[in-house]
């Protein structure tokens, strides 16, 4: 795969000239002609190198460079400052802003190619040095998928608190927010807007290894680790090849014990394929006739495609009401036992978000925390028994 270079210049002729020179060297080129566009493209495209003009109308290159260095997602991308200024002080300012190299206009194509090649080589070597040493072969652990019968049923809350409860019980879970463009899990526990999942899903399947996935995990203060999506609308439109999604699931199963996946709601093309990879599938249902009937149809569809026996029901009460469907009626309609009933706790849920903690960690003795703990206990017997063969990193 060709290395990607972002060229930023407000001069269209310069953009075309530099882009043509780089393309002739075999690089993939993306462009921006303002500082604001540069920041957006850098975070979205995650290029291997940025060539950044200093003099631009909306935001000068020095300020753009500083902001790129302050952003976790772009902080390690090498940057070449490109400008007509030739004074030593100008170069010093560029390096102080975080530039890796400095070129003055006009530059010879051979010099540009040489500098680009050298910086990309140094960047690759630095990344290789930062990789942890090889470890012993790993075994795949269980994959637990959490899917909602409908939107707003509490799927993310169940996945997050299930993983947190497993952590409390001595397991080493990894939670994965598999909802590109709609990921709220990282924000719920104070980890901000993460694009780790998007970066993984933008890779070819062959590059997605446990080591690569571990490099994108974010860790909560509690020790809970996760691979998260952001709420950037553009992520919803990401083309995700099936082999890439499956490679991500496989790698996460080797990183966590178990891997807990928030698959969102309904049966999309993406989660429809991913649910078949789950050893256990928790279907989150609200206790009302409409949602229960939607769950029934969803179960029939899933079992037609990928067999039965993996699906368990989690009922989430989002409000207390005398009109709710009784639990035994839900079991009769869906033809399977309810694994957990999660009580309505809106104030506690609000406090959990305010304190950047899962409910089970904020108030471990609360009734609802105990319900999540018991759900985790029912998941534990299969965690260590699923080996799936020995796989290397």
pLDDT digits (tens, 9 = 90+) for 298-310: 898 888 766 556 8
| pLDDT at position 320 | 62
The mean pLDDT of the chain is 85
The number of distinct structural domains making up the chain is 2
pLDDT, mean of residues 357-366? 93
225 and 344 belong to one structural domain: yes
Output phi, psi for 49, to 5 deg.
-155, 150
Strand partners, 288: none
Confidence of residue 107 (pLDDT cuts 50, 70, 90): confident
Select from 130, 147, 173 the last residue of a domain: 130
Is a pLDDT exceeding 70 seen at residue 186?
yes
CATH number at residue 217: 3.40.50.300
- For residue 36, pLDDT over 80 is answered with yes
Domain boundary among 72, 102, 130: 130
Q: Which of 19-23, 138-142, 186-190 has the lowest mean pLDDT?
A: 138-142
Kindly state whether residues 123 and 147 are assigned to the same domain. no
One domain for residues 294 and 385: yes
Q: Average pLDDT for residues 10-28, to the nearest whole number?
A: 89
On whether the pTM is more than 0.85, the answer is: no
| Same domain, residue pair 374 and 302 | yes
Question: Is residue 358 located within the same domain as residue 381?
Answer: yes
Residues 250 and 143: their CA atoms lie apart, in Å, by: 9
pLDDT at 146 over 50: yes
- Same structural domain for residues 22 and 61? yes
What CATH number does residue 35 fall under? 3.40.50.2300
Residues 104, 66: Cα–Cα separation, whole Å: 20
**pLDDT value, residue 93:** 80
Question: Is 264 in the same domain as 126?
Answer: no
Q: Which domain holds residue 256?
A: 138-391
């Amino acid at each position: 795969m060709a290395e990607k270079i972002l060229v930023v210049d407000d001069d269209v002729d310069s953009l075309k000239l530099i882009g043509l020179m780089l393309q002739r060297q075999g690089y993939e080129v993306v462009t921006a002609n303002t500082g604001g566009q540069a920041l957006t493209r850098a975070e979205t495209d995650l290029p291997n190198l940025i060539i950044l003009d200093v003099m631009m109308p909306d935001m000068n290159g020095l300020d753009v460079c500083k902001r790129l260095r302050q952003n976790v997602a772009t902080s390690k991308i090498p940057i070449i400052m490109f400008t007509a200024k030739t004074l030593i002080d100008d170069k010093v300012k560029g390096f102080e802003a975080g530039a890796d190299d400095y070129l003055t206009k006009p530059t010879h194509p051979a010099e540009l190619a040489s500098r680009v090649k050298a910086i990309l080589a140094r960047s690759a070597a630095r990344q290789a040095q930062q990789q942890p040493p090889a470890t012993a072969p790993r075994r795949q652990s269980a994959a637990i998928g959490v899917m909602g019968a409908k939107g707003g049923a509490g799927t993310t809350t169940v996945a997050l608190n299930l993983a947190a409860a497993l952590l409390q019980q001595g397991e080493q879970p990894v939670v994965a927010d598999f909802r590109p463009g709609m990921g709220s899990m990282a924000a719920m526990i104070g980890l901000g807007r993460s694009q780790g999942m998007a970066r993984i899903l933008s890779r070819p399947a062959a590059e997605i290894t446990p080591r690569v996935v571990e490099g994108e995990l974010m860790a909560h203060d509690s020790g809970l680790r996760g691979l998260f999506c952001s709420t950037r609308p553009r992520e919803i439109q990401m083309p995700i090849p099936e082999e890439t999604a499956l490679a991500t699931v496989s790698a996460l199963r080797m990183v966590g014990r178990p891997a807990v996946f928030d698959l969102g709601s309904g049966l999309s093309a993406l989660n429809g394929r991913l649910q078949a990879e789950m050893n256990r599938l928790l279907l989150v249902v609200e206790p009302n006739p409409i949602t229960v009937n939607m769950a029934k149809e969803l179960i029939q569809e899933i079992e037609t495609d990928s067999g039965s026996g993996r699906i368990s029901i989690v009922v989430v009460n989002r409000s207390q009401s005398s009109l709710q469907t009784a639990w035994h009626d839900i079991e009769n309609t869906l033809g399977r036992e309810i694994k957990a009933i999660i009580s309505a706790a809106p104030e506690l849920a609000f406090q959990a978000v305010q304190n950047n903690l899962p409910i089970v960690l904020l108030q471990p003795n609360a009734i609802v925390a105990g319900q999540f703990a018991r759900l985790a206990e029912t998941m534990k017997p299969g965690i260590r028994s699923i080996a799936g063969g020995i796989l290397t990193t």
